[in-house]
Structure 1
Amino acid sequence: MRQYGLVRPTHGRVLGGVVAGLGRRFGIDPWPARLLFALILLAIPGTQILIYPVLWILMPAETVATPVTPIVPEAPIA
Structure 2
Amino acid sequence: MDNLLHFIKTYIAPKIGTAFEEHAPIQGKCILQANARVLRLLKHDLKLHLSLFMGGLFFAIAAKEAGSEIIYLD
TM-score, length of structure 2 as denominator length: 0.37
TM-score, length of structure 1 as denominator length: 0.36
Structure with higher helix content = 2
Larger radius of gyration: 1
Higher relative contact order (CA 8 A, sep 6+): 2
